[in-house]
């Protein structure tokens, strides 16, 4: 009888340990498919909204026009990517593309003397500024 209790206890401890290890490997900052899709979709929609806020007259500034054109291209690309994305990694690519577009919107707004859109992640901003300097 003592052996059966010990064996049952070891099986329970092993099962709990297996569940903990599995959750850590799956949930350690990784997004679920639905979370990743929602995040990507949110940024694509926000980019589209930011682009629609500009009027034709705002495109008179050459720098702003160039940045808005780049942002519109990122928006088209992100929408195409979103249509075919199925995994969290693919949704992450969509999110990065949309964030690149948002940073182009920020640059256009800055060129026009308009306050930049709030709430952009700083890591993406630094990457865009570094890339922008090279081009």
pTM, 2 dp: 0.65
How many whole angstroms from its chain centre is CA 119?
A: 13
- Nearest Cα residue to 55 out of 107, 109, 97, 102: 109
pLDDT in tens, 50-86: 888 775 455 568 899 899 999 999 999 999 999 999 9
Averaged pLDDT, 109-131? 65
- pLDDT greater than 70 at residue 98: yes
Averaged pLDDT, 14-40? 71
pLDDT at position 114: 85
Q: How confident is the model at residue 106 (pLDDT cuts 50, 70, 90)?
A: very high
Given 3-state DSSP classes, what are the helix, strand and coil percentages for the chain, each rounded to the nearest 5? 80, 0, 20
């Amino acid at each position: 009888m003592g052996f059966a209790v010990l064996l049952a206890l070891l099986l329970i401890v092993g099962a709990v340990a297996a569940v903990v290890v599995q959750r850590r490997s799956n949930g350690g900052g990784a997004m679920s498919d639905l979370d990743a899709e929602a995040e990507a979709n949110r940024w694509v929609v926000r980019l589209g909204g930011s682009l629609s806020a500009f009027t034709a007259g705002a495109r008179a500034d050459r720098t702003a026009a160039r940045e808005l054109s780049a942002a519109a291209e990122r928006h088209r690309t992100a929408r195409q990517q979103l249509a075919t994305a199925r995994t969290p990694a693919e949704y992450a690519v969509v999110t990065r593309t949309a964030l690149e577009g948002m940073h182009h919107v920020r640059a256009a707004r800055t060129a026009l003397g308009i306050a930049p859109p709030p709430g952009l992640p700083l890591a993406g901003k630094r990457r865009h500024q570094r890339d922008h300097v090279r081009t």
